């Protein structure tokens, strides 16, 4: 039997035998919790910095979507594989590779010189997170005895909640104060000293462990699944910028065929005694089939919401990163409170109606947000969003805190690990597709909404033109030209490009002083037009979110009435 002081010796628990407690287990817990916090912080902190990245790197909207989606896609593609690598080659070893790679990728993100460089670094960062994150719960499981795991998992949940609350605020502070003139870069560079600490502490305090019955890698399944998701995500992300060419629709069709081939390949692999990436036998369990679908669709909705909301606040309303980060506090508080109530009180007594109630509350929160945005338009303030954001957070908290337990209820215990990995994969895949869809449901309508915004402001613009000495017969053509400019500007995918319609000279019959005043009048309207256009487009996006969450809520009736949490 290996000595508990030996942090490099593999742990091979024998069935039915008591294992000596690792005296360094609480220090090991600190290490994996720091890694968990670093990963979760990186997800939430980036959302706040997206508009700053866009301005600083002159990135288009599709490139900004890839900054978020690239990480999630790589994470989703590698999550199950990362878990299996830990089982086969040692969890400490793979965790160490993951945290070293994540730290290096964070440094690369921090020194990125252009959007393509940053996207590549984010993909690398997501791939390294896929190696690091699956080992966290596995290390906890083999390091702590059953009687201590409840307390440990509670601490893990607290870390996740705190990252959700403080991520946007920390991101806002780092971007707002432009530390050393680095703009958004500190949000990634902050991971470097944390990662170095994690590497040293891993070597010192985490004990190696492997699975006695490790599954084999399924490289073919991984390639097919990744190709299928890429064929779906790429045209959704790039289609708007490229004018929806025929090949974009061809790729969407091909994604269906490749994903169908992935299902067939998984069936054949299992029949031949292999270990498919997604074991189709899991779908025989009603709870897993329902949980898989619910988790995928629910995160598709939330992934869309978070990116739309960020762009709405910072690009549309012109709020600072810190302002936007602090505005998100009601959402985070609602999520944390609802998650705590759900796990301890609601789920044990209400069963699946806890999740159904969560879905309904999300819809109510989105409806309230639509009403609030409609009432206040460009004049909306943070405090006016509080009720809607709290409801949205509470609804999400009720769903995400216990969905895994419901999804695993009918799954055989020996398959719980694979099922858990597959459900986690749908979380990332849903977020990835949701981010990609933003281009369709939010960015595409912007041009039309900008035109409507100018129409609504036409009387005020006309009054100001009169005050500037512009004859009334010229008001119509001037406002019409401004409307075309606003439309073209809102539809422009490259923020550095000024459309030709925005460069038209004022009527030649006007004196130079009056022409200059026209420019001042129209320029003064631009922030209001942009804020109003984003507000209108955001309401359209929220309608999509409501529709999808209503479908997801109906799907929740397929879940078991009561959850039976499994020990993974």
Read off the pLDDT band of 545 (50, 70, 90): very high
pLDDT greater at residue 141 or residue 394: 394
Supply the pLDDT for residue 158.
63
Model pLDDT for residues 183-208, shown as the tens digit of each residue: 899 999 989 999 999 999 999 999 88
Provide the pLDDT for residue 92.
Answer: 92
Mutual orientation of helices 382-400 and 286-311 as an angle, nearest 10°? 160
Question: Is residue 568 over pLDDT 70?
Answer: no
The answer to whether 487 touches 451, Cβ cutoff 8 Å, is: yes
Which tokens sit at 49? 């910095």
The alpha carbon torsion through 148, 151, 156, 159 (nearest 10 deg) reads -140
Helices 512-555 and 286-311 pack at an angle, to 10 degrees, of 170
Mean pLDDT of the chain: 84
Question: Which of 41-55, 369-383, 444-458 is predicted with the least confidence, judged by mean pLDDT?
Answer: 41-55
For residue 207, the model assigns a pLDDT of 87
Per-residue model confidence as pLDDT tens digits over 318-328 = 898 888 888 98
pLDDT of residue 438: 85
Per residue in 228-256, pLDDT (tens digit) is 888 888 888 777 777 788 998 999 999 99
Q: How confident is the model at residue 101 (pLDDT cuts 50, 70, 90)?
A: very high
Residue 51 in contact with residue 310, Cβ under 8 Å?
yes
- 1 — pLDDT class (breaks 50, 70, 90): very low
pLDDT at res. 417: 64
How far is C-alpha 549 from the chain's CA centre? 16
CB 297 within 8 A of CB 555: yes
Nearest to 446 by CA among 304, 303, 316, 301: 316
Percentage of the chain exceeding pLDDT 70: 91
pLDDT at 11: 43
Whether the per-residue pLDDT at 222 is higher than 90: the answer is: no
Sorted by sequence, the CB contacts under 8 Å of residue 541 that are 6+ apart come out as: 304, 305, 308, 438, 441, 442
For the beta carbon of residue 3, count every other beta carbon within 10 angstroms: 9
pLDDT at 420 over 80: no
For the entire predicted model, the pTM comes to 0.80
Query: Distance of CA 20 to CAs 28, 143, 216, 324, 325, Å?
Result: 15, 10, 29, 49, 45
- Asked if residue 5 has pLDDT above 50, the reply is no
- Average pLDDT value for residue range 384-407: 90
Whether 2 has a pLDDT exceeding 60, the answer reads no
Determine the average pLDDT of the residues in 300-326.
88
**Structure-block tokens of residue 353:** 């109606």
Rounded CA-CA distance 340/478 in Å is 57
Q: How much is the average pLDDT of 466-489?
A: 90
> What would the mean pLDDT of 456-471 be, rounded to a whole number?
90
Sorting pLDDT into bands at 50, 70 and 90, what band is 161? low
């Amino acid at each position: 039997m290996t000595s508990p002081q030996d942090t490099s010796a593999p742990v091979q628990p024998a069935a039915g035998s008591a294992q000596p407690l690792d005296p360094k287990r609480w220090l090991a817990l600190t290490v994996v919790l720091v890694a968990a916090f670093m990963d979760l912080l990186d997800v939430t902190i980036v959302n706040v910095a997206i508009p700053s990245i866009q301005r600083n790197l002159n990135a288009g909207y599709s490139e900004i979507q890839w900054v978020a989606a690239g990480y999630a896609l790589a994470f989703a593609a590698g999550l199950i594989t990362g878990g299996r690598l830990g089982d086969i080659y040692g969890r400490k070893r793979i965790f160490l590779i993951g945290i070293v790679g994540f730290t290096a990728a964070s440094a690369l993100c921090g020194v990125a010189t252009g959007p393509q460089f940053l996207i590549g670094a984010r993909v690398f960062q997501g791939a390294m997170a896929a190696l690091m994150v699956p080992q966290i719960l596995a290390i906890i499981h083999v390091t702590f005895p059953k009687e201590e795991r409840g307390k440990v998992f509670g601490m893990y949940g607290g870390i996740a909640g705190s990252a959700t609350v403080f991520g946007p605020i920390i991101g806002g502070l780092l971007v707002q104060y432009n530390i050393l003139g680095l703009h958004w870069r500190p949000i990634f560079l902050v991971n470097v000293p944390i990662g170095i600490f994690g590497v040293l502490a891993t070597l010192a305090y985490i004990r190696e462990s492997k699975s006695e019955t490790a599954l084999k890698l399924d490289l073919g399944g991984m390639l097919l699944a990744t190709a299928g998701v890429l064929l779906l995500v790429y045209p959704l992300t790039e289609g708007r910028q490229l004018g929806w060419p025929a090949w974009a629709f061809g790729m969407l069709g091909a994604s269906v065929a490749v994903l169908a081939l992935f299902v067939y390949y998984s069936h054949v692999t299992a029949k031949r005694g292999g270990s498919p990436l997604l074991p189709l036998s899991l779908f025989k369990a009603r709870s897993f089939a329902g949980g898989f679908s619910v988790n995928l669709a629910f995160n598709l909705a939330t992934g869309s919401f978070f990116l739309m909301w960020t762009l709405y606040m910072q690009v549309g309303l012109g709020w600072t990163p810190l302002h936007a980060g602090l505005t998100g506090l009601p959402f985070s508080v609602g999520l944390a409170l609802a998650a705590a109530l759900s796990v301890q009180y609601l789920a044990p007594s209400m069963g699946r109606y806890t999740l159904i109630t969560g879905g309904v509350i999300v819809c109510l929160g989105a409806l309230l947000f639509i009403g609030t945005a409609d009432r206040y338009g460009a004049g909306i303030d943070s405090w006016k969003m509080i009720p809607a954001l709290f409801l949205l957070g509470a609804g999400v908290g009720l769903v995400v805190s216990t969905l895994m337990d419901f999804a695993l209820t009918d799954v055989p215990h020996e398959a719980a690990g694979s099922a858990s990995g597959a459900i986690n994969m749908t979380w990332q895949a849903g977020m990835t597709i949701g981010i990609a869809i933003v281009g369709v449901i939010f960015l595409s309508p912007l041009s039309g909404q900008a035109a409507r915004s100018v129409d609504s402001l036409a009387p005020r613009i006309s009054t100001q033109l009169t005050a500037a000495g512009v004859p009334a017969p010229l008001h119509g053509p001037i406002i019409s030209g401004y409307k075309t400019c606003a439309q073209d500007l809102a539809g422009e995918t490259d923020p550095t490009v000024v459309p030709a319609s925005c460069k038209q000279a004022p009527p030649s019959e006007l004196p130079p002083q009056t022409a200059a005043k026209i420019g001042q009048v129209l320029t003064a309207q631009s922030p209001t037009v942009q804020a109003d256009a984003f507000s209108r487009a955001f309401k359209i996006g929220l309608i999509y979110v409501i529709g999808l969450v209503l479908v997801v809520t109906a799907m929740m009736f397929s879940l078991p009435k009561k959850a039976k949490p499994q020990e993974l």
